[in-house]
Chains A and B, each alone.
Chain A
Amino acid sequence: MSVLNEAERTPDSSFAAQEQPTVLAKAWRRLTRSSLTGRILFPITCLVFWLLAIKIVTTIWPFAVDVLPTPGQVFGFMWNEIRGDTLAPHNMYETFGISLQRLAIGMVIAMIIGTIIGIAMGLSKAVDAFFNDWVVAILAMPNLAWALFCSLAFGFGDLGPIITVVLTGVPFVIINVREGVRNTPADLFDMARAFDVPRKRVIRQVLIPSLMPFLFAAARYAFALGWKGLVVAEVFGGQDGAGWTIKFWYDAHRAYGVVGYALLFVIFALVFEKFMFDQLSKKLFKWRPAVDAEVVEERFDGTAKAAVASAAAASTATGAALGSITLATEGPPADQPAQPHSDETIRRDNDHG
């Protein structure tokens, strides 16, 4: 993507002397090659595209002016909401609070139910056979179905959204916890047995910490998928909350309201998720060998890998792919191979001790 081709500038390359490209040329080269430029250019391009599209559409269909949201309208709307000035019954903060509350309750219930069933399934083949097809079935069900059903069955209020969150999250929790139980570090248990460590201590200091990464991933999925289900549930069966407010603007035929509010909530959910889980991750997993430096590309790779890995882990394409981009934590399987009685496969670096 270099605009100034060095070969063209110095046709007589028989001169052994390398004519240095000018500072400007180098800077331009770096600019057009860098990914940061691209990243900045994207929203600008989108904006331009947006304005152009509006221009074009309104020239063809003049009546569309009311329906199409302009950037000005959307950002103006968002700014008003942030200031607390809104036409909807509750302001943004109250609304998000209500939704968050429902999400939290649903998540806790999902974690409890999911952990119990997941542990049972991991420990017993019979229980696994009993539940497995149903876990897969619930995993593949669109949250729309839950949302509509709950709205019809439970009417307006908190119950419908909460149950939707539970139903959306439980299969993920089950699958992750089951993986955790299946991947317990057998070598560490053998070591504890060789030293005659009392059972309670083994459970507290070996079993539970080894399950933590899986529980953490489960919580992350429950959150990420939960809020999406919550929004849909609130659209159909709420009388408040983020989803209901979006529907409010939809019913009012105000596209800028739909876009703006959705943007606000999506950004809020992402930031909250990242903040909460990153902080939690730092505290819970400070023993992990340093994975600090998050190079820009690596973060994207992480997302990609998480999307792919989460799908594999969830053992069906359907549910897992429903869109968690949150980083699945790298669990024990990568660090401690589950080999029963042999240490042949360790992969540690061996420097001078």
Chain B
Amino acid sequence: MADIAVQNLHKEFGLGADKVIALENVNLEISGHAFVSIVGASGCGKSTLLNILSGIDVPTSGRVSITQDGKAARAGYVFQAARLLPWRSVMDNMLFVQKDKSEATRQRCQRYLEMVQLGDKGNKYPGELSGGMQQRVGIARAFSTEPDVLFMDEPFSHLDAITARSLRAELHTIWAETGKTVVFVTHDVGEAVELSNRILVFAKGGRLADDINLTLPFPRDVADADVALKKADVFRTFENIGALAVS
């Protein structure tokens, strides 16, 4: 469980007339056993925020700190596309991101593969797996490093509905069992409502517009009336702040 603190975060791209403000003065704090979803329309800075939090990108100004018990926290990352090394086997892909190659590590990786029901696919190459399977390997890979915080960038958006649904259930189970902090970017409000206990709503221009806490009990079923009502609530929030406006 990590502590994430963001202060006055500002991110711009380009110069002069071409300047684009991706994130505008974002302040937020996340801690504890949280599953935080970041939602917003395309182009509102969700992925940029995630890139900065995970260290792939740097802010133009402002401060980001991600700590675990005062030390720098370790982070795992799940991408939209699985981003597996196509020339190495599944197990080698898992081992690629580990700190060492010991037998204990290997067994840990195997355990996480089994958690996503791919325990027997360790020797296959990514090219032999379907898109859904590759994404599951990506999830297993991220969890297997046992990070303090997990960043997920629209991990299910490229999968079909049925696969996504079962993967969401798996994700929730792992999150509940392992007690990590998860920061989850999505454009799907239903997904956010189903999985998270806190929703950050971003508007166009990189503005953090709203911060919603969800207290409905887990596990949540989209068919459930309470859940559906909450989803409608969130949508109304969107409309109120104009976050739904298409560019």
Measuring CB to CB, which residues of chain A are less than 8 angstroms from any residue of chain B? 187-188, 190-197, 201, 205-206, 209, 212, 286-289, 335-336, 341-344, 346, 348-353
Contact = CB atoms under 8 A, between A and B. Distances in A.
B26 interface: no
B163 A353 contact: yes
Contacts of B80: 342-344, 346
A57 B247 CA distance: 77
A93 B83 CA distance: 49
Contact of A342 (B47, B166, B167): B47
Contact of A352 (B79, B127, B130): B130
A344 B133 CA distance: 18
Given A348-B131, A352-B160, A287 B136 contact: no
Closest 8 CB pairs of A and B: A353-B132, A343-B80, A289-B127, A343-B81, A353-B163, A346-B81, A195-B97, A348-B131
Interface string B21-59: 000000000000000000000000001000100111100
B75 interface: yes
Contacts of B133: 353
A193 B51 CA distance: 11
B121 to A, nearest CB: 11
B76 A341 contact: no
B159 A190 contact: no
Contact of B163 (A197, A201, A352): A352
Most chain A beta carbons < 10 A, residue from B57, B75, B76, B158? B158
Given A191-B83, A194-B77, A352 B54 contact: no
A206 to B, nearest CB: 6
A215 to B, nearest CB: 13
Interface in B167-202: 167
B163 A350 contact: yes
A351 B77 contact: no
B86 interface: yes
15 contacts: A191-B79, A192-B96, A193-B56, A195-B77, A196-B74, A197-B96, A205-B96, A287-B86, A288-B127, A289-B128, A343-B79, A343-B81, A350-B159, A351-B160, A353-B163
B88 A348 contact: no
Nearest to A285: B87
Interface of B: 47, 51, 54-57, 74-77, 79-81, 83, 85-88, 96-97, 125-128, 130-136, 145, 151, 153, 158-160, 162-163, 166-167
A29 B7 CA distance: 78
B56 A201 contact: no
A341 B97 contact: no
B160 A287 contact: no
Nearest to B167: A353
A351 to B, nearest CB: 4
Contacts of B74: 196
A194 B145 CA distance: 12
B77 A191 contact: yes
B77 A350 contact: no
Contacts of B57: 341
A193 B56 CA distance: 7
B134 A352 contact: no
Nearest to B79: A343
A353 B159 contact: yes
Contact of B130 (A193, A201, A288, A349): A349
A175 B153 CA distance: 36
Given A343-B81, A349-B130, A353-B167, 14 more contacts: A188-B83, A190-B56, A191-B79, A192-B97, A206-B85, A287-B126, A288-B127, A335-B86, A341-B56, A350-B131, A351-B131, A352-B160, A352-B162, A353-B131
A187 B85 CA distance: 10
Contact of A209 (B85, B145, B158): B85
